[in-house]
């Protein structure tokens, strides 16, 4: 994910990348090795013009940077974000914010105290088709939402050092690592649900292989989401949604063409215009705008990012206790 942030910072006119920090000498010294599920992540990058660090504390002490992208394993998000904020550095920290609510609260307190920006990388709130779907729903033009379902499917990540993705106390498993994108988007569209009921298939060892959740609201709309690391590796990755309103259905499936359609009742389907770029470039532009003091639209708050941790942890609890968890 560090490659993705690096590439998108390169496109951001307001910023210049000056340093990179990674403890893995293969990455930091020869800049060749990278794995992962992000397109282009395996391409070599020329780090010659950058100051390279293996020690994060030294990087902060050198005061070269105004802002940092934190793309570390999840269990390090809290401590590395707080260190940067305490050093007076703005932070764009990858999702999930942290593994539990207490960590989120400490991150929020550190951000408040520092007066610096802390933004969590909920890129789906910035993803062009997801942005457009929210606009269409909020416009009310097609009536109320009747049902909405979201999917995010792939195979288990295998590239993390010491297999950190497979360890629930490091990654939070499929629910906190992958499925949180949709839980957070559900919250973004409809607010926090009043309860959640989830079903899961256990992974070998501990944790879950996949999770399916139903989010309960005061009205009778049916909202569900599925996140999976159970697919075969040759499947690749897919994200999709169907949102049914009284007078139209919106569908998105990244593996279809056209991927995005608005299908009105009694009319032809069309593909609405969406923002240029992707969720990664747009979240970085948003963060850069906040850091440079521009007035930006409120897309996400730290409390909402923490609420997504609360929501997903309730989903995990629901699987474990085999009952609905009230929020």
Which residues bind to ligand NAD, rule: CB under 6 A?
Answer: 1-2, 21-24, 27, 36, 56, 71-74, 76, 94-95, 121, 123, 159-161, 177
- Cβ 219 to ligand NAD shortest distance, Å: 30
Nearer to ligand NAD, 108 or 146 (CB): 108
Tokens of 226: 């599925």
Nearer to ligand NAD, 36 or 195 (CB): 36
- Cβ 127 to ligand NAD shortest distance, Å: 9
- Cβ 58 to ligand NAD shortest distance, Å: 11
To the nearest 5 percent, what fractions of the chain are helix, strand and coil? 40, 25, 40
The total of other beta-carbon atoms located within 10 Å of residue 167's CB is 17
- Cβ 3 to ligand NAD shortest distance, Å: 8
- Strands of 67-70's sheet in order across: 67-70, 90-94, 118-121
- Cβ 161 to ligand NAD shortest distance, Å: 6
Nearer to ligand NAD, 112 or 163 (CB): 163
**What is the C-alpha separation between 62 and 138, in angstroms, rounded?**
46
- Cβ 67 to ligand NAD shortest distance, Å: 17
- Cβ 1 to ligand NAD shortest distance, Å: 3
Query: What string of DSSP letters covers 139-199?
Result: H-TT--EEEEEEEEE-B----SGGGGGG-HHHH-HHIIIIIHHHHHHHHHHH-S-SEEEEE
- Cβ 17 to ligand NAD shortest distance, Å: 16
Nearer to ligand NAD, 197 or 281 (CB): 281
CA distances from 87 to 9, 14, 50, 97, 302 (A): 21, 21, 20, 19, 19
- Cβ 21 to ligand NAD shortest distance, Å: 5
DSSP H/E element including 316: helix 302-321
Nearer to ligand NAD, 159 or 235 (CB): 159
Nearer to ligand NAD, 82 or 245 (CB): 82
Core vs surface per residue 127-150: b (16+ CB within 10 A) or e: bbbbbbbbebbeeeebeebeebbb
The strand pair at 238-245 and 145-153 is best described as: antiparallel
Q: Which residue has the tokens 């013009």?
A: 49
Nearest to 108 by CA among 98, 118, 95: 118
Cα 267 to chain center, whole Å? 34
Nearer to ligand NAD, 175 or 262 (CB): 175
Nearer to ligand NAD, 55 or 141 (CB): 55
Those residues whose C-beta lies under 8 Å from the C-beta of residue 194, and which sit 6 or more positions away, are: 216, 217, 218, 326, 327
**What is the C-alpha separation between 197 and 93, in angstroms, rounded?**
29
Nearer to ligand NAD, 95 or 286 (CB): 95
């Amino acid at each position: 994910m560090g490659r993705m942030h690096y590439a998108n910072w390169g496109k951001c006119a307001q910023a210049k990348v000056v340093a990179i920090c990674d403890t893995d000498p293969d990455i930091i010294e020869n800049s060749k090795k990278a794995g992962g599920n992000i397109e282009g992540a395996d391409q070599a990058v020329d780090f010659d013009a950058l100051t390279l660090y293996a020690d994060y504390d030294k990087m902060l002490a050198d005061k070269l940077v105004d802002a940092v992208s934190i793309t570390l394993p999840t269990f390090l998000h809290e401590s590395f974000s707080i260190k940067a904020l305490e050093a007076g550095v703005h932070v764009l920290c990858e999702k999930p914010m942290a593994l539990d609510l207490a960590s989120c609260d400490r991150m929020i307190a550190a951000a408040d105290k520092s007066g610096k920006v802390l933004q969590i990388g909920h890129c789906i709130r910035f993803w062009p088709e997801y942005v457009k779907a929210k606009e269409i729903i909020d416009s009310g033009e097609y009536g109320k939402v009747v049902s909405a379902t979201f999917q995010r499917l792939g195979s288990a990540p295998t590239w993390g050092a010491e297999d950190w993705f497979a360890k629930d106390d490091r990654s939070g498993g499929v629910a906190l690592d992958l499925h949180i994108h949709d839980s957070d988007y559900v919250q973004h569209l409809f607010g926090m649900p009043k309860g959640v009921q989830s079903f899961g298939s256990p992974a070998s060892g501990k944790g879950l292989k996949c999770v399916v959740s139903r989010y309960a609201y005061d009205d009778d709309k049916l909202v569900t989401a599925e996140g999976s690391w159970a697919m075969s590796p040759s499947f690749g990755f897919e994200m999709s949604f169907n949102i049914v309103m009284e007078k139209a259905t919106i569908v998105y499936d990244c593996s279809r063409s056209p991927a995005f359609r608005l299908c009105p009742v009694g009319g032809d389907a069309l593909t609405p215009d969406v923002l240029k770029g992707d969720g990664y470039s747009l979240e970085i532009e948003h963060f850069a705008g906040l850091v440079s003091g521009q007035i930006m639209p409120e897309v996400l708050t730290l409390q909402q990012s923490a609420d997504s941790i609360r929501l997903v942890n309730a989903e995990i609890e629901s699987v474990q206790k085999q009952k609905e968890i009230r929020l």
